[in-house]
Structure 1
Amino acid sequence: MRSLEFRSRGATLRYDQTGQGDPIVLVHGLSGSGRWWRRNIPALSAAHRVYVLDLAGYGQAYRQRALGVRDAATLIAAWMDSLDLRRVTLIGHSLGGHISMHVAALRPGRVQNLVLACASGLLRGSLYRVALNLPRAALTGRLTFVPRILADAARSGPRNLWRSTTDLLKDSVQELLPQLTARTLVIWGGRDALVPPALGRALAQAIPGARYEEIPRAGHVVMVDAPARFNALVLDFLREGAGEA
C-alpha cells in the first residue's frame, strides 16, 4: 500500500492507495482514521483501486487543524480532480458520510456510487447530548475495537473533535439530498446509539432511488462490527451497478 498526500489552499489530505480497477474512496468518521477500514480493504481492493483517506486533523494528518464539513468536501473534490478520478464509489462513515454527500453534489460527473454508513447528515441536537451518547455508542459495538477508538480520538485531540462535532451539527444536508444523482446505498447498524437507524431510513427515503440496508447486531461503526456483511452488501451493490451499465 502506497502512502501519499495532496495539498490545496493550505490544507493537506493524506491517503493510502492499493489495488487496481475502478476507484473506491473510503472516508472515515469523527475521531476516526483510515485504520477503521482495515477489515474492509482486502475485500474491496480485490477488484478495485482503493484510496483510504485521513481527513485533516485525523489519522496520519492529526497535526493539522480539522476542516469543516464543506471545506473537507471541497478538498476531496479538488483531490479527485487532480487525479482525474472517474466512476468513483465514495464510501463514507458517520462524519465521512456527511462529507461524502457534499462531495457527490460537488462532483456528480465523477461520483458514480455513494455508500453512506451511519452518516451524520441528519443528526441534530446539542454537543452535550451527542457527547453523552458516545460511551454507549462504543459499548454497543465490537468491544475489541474500543482501544482503537480511544487511541485515534486522543491523537486528534479535543480541539479537533470539538471543531468537527460543532460543525457537523450545524450543517444540514436536507436540501441537498433530492439533488444527488449517484446510485446510493445506505447501510446502518441496528444498534447504533449515536446516529439512530430512524435517521438512516429518513436519509434513504430522501435520496432518489437509494436503498437502505440495516445490520441488526451492528452498532455505529458498522463496517467494523459486521465486516463480512458490510463488504458483501457493498460488493453486491457495485456488481448490480456494473450490470445495469
Structure 2
Amino acid sequence: MSVELNYHDTGGEGTPLVVVHGLLGSADNWRSHVKQWQARRRVVAVDLRNHGRSPHAEGMSYREMAADLLALMDRLAIDKAHLLGHSMGGKVVISLARLSPQRVASLIVADIAPQAYGHGHDAIFAGLRHLQRGNPANRREADELLAEHVEERPVRLFLATNLERAESGGLALRIGLDQIEAGYPDIMQAPAGESAFDGPVLVLRGGKSHYVPDSALANLRDVLPNSRLVTLEEAGHWLHADQPEAFQAAVEEFLDSLEA
C-alpha cells in the first residue's frame, strides 16, 4: 500500500521536474536548487516515506518507494515528468522508469549506479540512535552527541537537518529511524525492475566520490542505454551541495536539450 508523500510544488507550465532526495535527506535539502529551477519550469520536491514530513511506514524496497512516487504523480495529475534523484533517490527514479517508462520524460541520476552496494552507514545509525537517547536541548548538544560516532562535521550538519522541535521543548528526529534501519538491506539493493529504460538520461557523478566508479559504467549503460555521463571533478557524493552552480547548469543544459 502506497504512502501519501509530503511534497512542495512550485506550480507552472510544461513537463514538471520531480526531485527526489537520498537516504536521510529531504525535500528541504533542495530548496536553493528549486528556487533556481522554478524560474523556468514547474518543480515538485518530494519527501520519501520515513523522511522529511512524509508518513512513517514499514518497507523501504525500491518497488514500494517507486509506487509512492507514482501515486503522488497521479494525485497531482502529472502524466509525465522529468525525474531527478540523488543517491537512494536515484535508485527510486530508475525503478519508476523501469516499471512505468511511459510516465517518465527523462531521468537525471545523481551519483548512484543501478547496482547493489555494501553496507556503510553503521556509524551514522549509531550516531542517530545516540542522539535520540540523549534528548538534546539544542543543536550544539545534538552535534556533540552525533560527534561521538560521526567524525565528519559536514555529515553531522546534514544529519542535523532531520531535527525538529519536540513537544518537550528539546530536539527530536523527524525521520522514521526504526523503519529506515529495518529496511536498510533493501536500500542497499539494486533498483527494482528487470528491463532497461531507453529514454534520455543524464548521469552526474562526483569526481571525488566512489559511488559511480568506471567499473560500474558497463552495468549502468545496460540499464540506462541512452545515458550521458557528466563528472563534476571537484565534487564528492553530495555533488549538488559541493558544486551547486555546475550541478544546476548541467541539469538545465540537459533539460533544454530535450525541449529544444
**Match of residue 155 from structure 1:** 174
Q: Is contact 1:55-1:66 (8 Å) kept?
A: no
Q: Which residues of structure 1 form unaligned runs of 5+?
A: 1-8
Max Rg structure: 2
**Match of residue 209 from structure 1:** 226
Aligned pairs (5 A) from 1:50-61:
50-61=43-54
**Once the 2 structures are TM-superposed, how far is the Cα of residue 223 of structure 1 from its aligned partner?**
1.1
Aligned pairs (5 A) from 1:9-158:
9=1, 11-21=3-13, 22-61=15-54, 63-65=56-58, 67-119=60-112, 121-125=114-118, 127=119, 129-131=120-122, 139=152, 146-152=156-162, 154-158=173-177
2: CA distance, partners of 1:34 / 1:95: 13
- CA deviation map 1:211-238 (0-9, x unaligned): 0011111111111111111110010001
1:218 aligned residue (214, 235, 254): 235
User: Is the alpha carbon distance of 1:76 and 1:157 closer, same or farther for their aligned partners in structure 2, counting shifts above 3 Å?
Assistant: closer
User: Is the alpha carbon distance of 1:63 and 1:124 closer, same or farther for their aligned partners in structure 2, counting shifts above 3 Å?
Assistant: closer
**Once the 2 structures are TM-superposed, how far is the Cα of residue 155 of structure 1 from its aligned partner?**
3.1
2: CA distance, partners of 1:119 / 1:71: 19
Aligned partner of 2:112: which letter? Answer: A
User: Is the alpha carbon distance of 1:191 and 1:146 closer, same or farther for their aligned partners in structure 2, counting shifts above 3 Å?
Assistant: farther
**Percentage of pairs with the same residue:** 27
TM-score (norm 1): 0.80
**Once the 2 structures are TM-superposed, how far is the Cα of residue 84 of structure 1 from its aligned partner?**
2.9
2: CA distance, partners of 1:138 / 1:197: 25
**Once the 2 structures are TM-superposed, how far is the Cα of residue 181 of structure 1 from its aligned partner?**
2.5
1: CA distance, partners of 2:151 / 2:253: 28
User: Is the alpha carbon distance of 1:138 and 1:86 closer, same or farther for their aligned partners in structure 2, counting shifts above 3 Å?
Assistant: farther
User: Is the alpha carbon distance of 1:123 and 1:89 closer, same or farther for their aligned partners in structure 2, counting shifts above 3 Å?
Assistant: same
Task: Report SS of the residue matched to 1:59.
Answer: coil
Q: Is contact 1:57-1:66 (8 Å) kept?
A: no
2:198 aligned residue (165, 169, 181): 181
Aligned residues: 226
- CA deviation map 1:128-178 (0-9, x unaligned): x4536999x994xxx6574132342843253233134211223455844xx
User: Is the alpha carbon distance of 1:225 and 1:123 closer, same or farther for their aligned partners in structure 2, counting shifts above 3 Å?
Assistant: farther
